Every structure is written in structure tokens, then in C-alpha cells.
Amino acid sequence: MRTLALVLVVVGVSCAGKAPSGGKGTDPEGMGEDTGGTTGTGGKPSVPPPSTGGSPGTGGAPSTGGSPGTGGAGTGGSSGSAPDAGPTSGPDAAPVVSEPNAPCPRCVRVFNGMNFDGWEAAPATWKIVEGGAMHGQGGTSRAAYTKKDYGNVRLIVTSKLDPANGDHLGILFWGNRPMNPDKPQIDNAGWVQWMPPFGGMWSYHPPMHHGISGMKLAPAPSNSTTWHTSELLLNLDKGTLRAAVNGIETTRYTHAWPTERVDPTKRIIRGPLAMMKHGSGGSEYKDIWVEDEPTEDVLYTVKMK
């Protein structure tokens, strides 16, 4: 009897500033906040391609995948580059059903305009006012913040100052969770701040808070005393921010140490989203929507030309 032997060979494949109208008051800690520069903050960190293992053949030993490449950390300081803020999660992300009239496909309303469910907000400072806005003024609290932590996130919010009193608005992210809602720690807590609507930026990393510069893509509104809608697309993994105001992308930013999670002078971490009451003005925020772990690098509020 003649026997024909068929040999299957399995090959494993591996893949290797002066404040605009609306004002800026005196900083409570004695250092005025910068309204942001015009210089870009540098390139984005490289991202290593994932390693994939080969498919095992019939009767053969399964192949092993190669080692993934090592991505370098991005550094700030070079001007003119445009960081990529997403997408931040793959197509297998858990489906999210948006509410009717949501501003993006997976957006969820995180402030209901009637109470502070889901938020930490000191009653002496934060109130609900006509029109369903949270209003922060007086008291000892400098921020109302979410009970949930976020890293990669899209935030859409409408805001204004009423009254201005030489103050400015602020949105805080990537900082430590405060322990006391009546007096939440802002300084030396690692927050990054973006100031609607004009797009100034500030760092609250120790040893001293200081201004940081985002790349200006387009002129932004300067009057903070009228309602403006802002969209922030934050990518903690890459340390990037994209911001749009009233349907126009205005700012991009890349953190100088995008992968640092330990050193308190440099790190960015998952943390609350906070609406800031900076000084003596009245800070108002409403229609607050969030998409956790965004799946697309798109600013949904930006108007197509």
C-alpha cells in the first residue's frame, strides 16, 4: 500500500495673556492665570502597533506573536503640529443609547438642570437657576465636579458669566479627586484647565500653578457674558485635547508628558470633570453632555463647510 503523507507547515506571522471681554479677576492664590498662547505644544506620542499571533494549523503547534513596538513619549514645546485626539476606543466598545436631541451619537446628559444628582456641589456656592443652569458664586467652593471619573471623554457644555466681575470660566480635567466639596483642592492637584469660550489654558500641577499654551486654530469668542457652546475631546492615552466653540474648532493641545501617571509635577490621570468658579463672578453651566471613551476623532458640534 502506498501512503501519501501531507505535511502542513504552519508559519506564525507577527507584527512587529490678557483676559477678553468677560474679564479675568485676580487669582485667589496671588498669581494671575494665563489666557493661553498661540504656540503649539508639540507632537503626539507614537503609538505602537498591536502584536498579532499567527493562526495554529491542523496538527501543528500554534505560532507565537512577536513583541510589540515601544512607543515614545511625546514632548511639548514644538510649534505648529496638530495632535490627534482620538479615537480612544475600538469598535467593540459597549453600545450607548443616546437621548433624543443629544449632540452626538453616544452622548449622555450628565447634568439634568434640576438638581445636582451625579455631582459634588457645595450648596453655599452652587445653585440651580432659571433655564436649568448651575450657578456658582460666593462661598468657599471653586468647582462643582462629577462623581464619576473620566480619562478619554468628550464633553459638550454651554456656559457664560453672570455677572462677570472681571472673572473667567474654567473647565477642569485629569486631576486629583477632591476630598471636600465645600473647599475642593484645585492648586497642586494636577488639574488641567481650559477656559471657555476664548480657549486659555492653565496647569495646576505643583509646585506652582502656571499658564500653558495650546495651538490656536481659529479666533475664539472673547465675550464670556453670553451663552457659548463648547466641545472638548480629551484623550488621556495620548495627552491631547481638541476644542471647538460655537461650531468652530479653535484649540489643540498636547500634554508634555502624555504617559506620565505617577510624578505629581507632570502626571495626568483619570479624574472628575469640574465646572470652575474662579473668582468673584457668577459662573453658569448648562446642557452638559458626555461621551465616555469616544469612538471617533470627530468634533460633532463643528459645522461642515
Separate counts of helices (H) and strands (E) for the chain: 0, 16
Q: Which residue has the higher pLDDT, 139 or 45?
A: 139
For the residues 63-81, what does the mean pLDDT come to?
38
Q: Which residue has the cell 499567527?
A: 54
Rounded CA-CA distance 175/270 in Å is: 7
Q: Are 23 and 163 in contact (CB under 8 A)?
A: no
Q: Are 118 and 110 in contact (CB under 8 A)?
A: yes
Question: Which amino acid, 249?
Answer: E
- Predicted confidence at residue 29, as pLDDT, reads 41
Residue 94's pLDDT band, with cuts at 50, 70 and 90, is low
- What are the respective helix, strand and coil percentages of the chain, to the nearest 5? 0, 25, 75
* Sequence ranges of the domains in the chain: 108-292
Name the CATH superfamily, with its identifier, for domain 108-292.
Exo-inulinase; domain 1 (2.60.120.560)
Burial class (CB in 10 A: 0-12, 13-18, 19+), 172: buried
Across the chain, mean pLDDT equals 79
Residue 239: closest CA among 91, 42, 79: 42
* 136-146 pLDDT, tens digit each: 999 999 999 99
For the residues 150-178, what does the mean pLDDT come to?
97
Residue 190 has pLDDT above 90, yes or no: yes
- Predicted confidence at residue 53, as pLDDT, reads 42
Q: Are 204 and 165 in contact (CB under 8 A)?
A: no
Number of Cβ atoms within 10 Å of the Cβ of 286: 20
Rounded CA-CA distance 82/299 in Å is: 14
12-21, 129-138, 211-220: which range is least confident on average? 12-21
Residue 117 CA to its chain's centroid (Å): 22
Rounded CA-CA distance 196/133 in Å is: 16
pTM exceeds 0.75 for this model: no
Residue 76's pLDDT band, with cuts at 50, 70 and 90, is very low
Rounded CA-CA distance 215/202 in Å is: 13
Rounded CA-CA distance 140/150 in Å is: 25
Rounded CA-CA distance 187/209 in Å is: 6
DSSP bridge partners of 232: 155, 243
Q: Are 80 and 215 in contact (CB under 8 A)?
A: yes
- Predicted confidence at residue 241, as pLDDT, reads 98
Residue 259: closest CA among 191, 187, 174: 174
Residue 160 has pLDDT above 60, yes or no: yes
Give CA separation, 82 vs 19, 57, 156, 194, 200, in Å.
25, 44, 21, 17, 17
Sign of CA dihedral 224, 230, 236, 242: negative
- Predicted confidence at residue 302, as pLDDT, reads 97
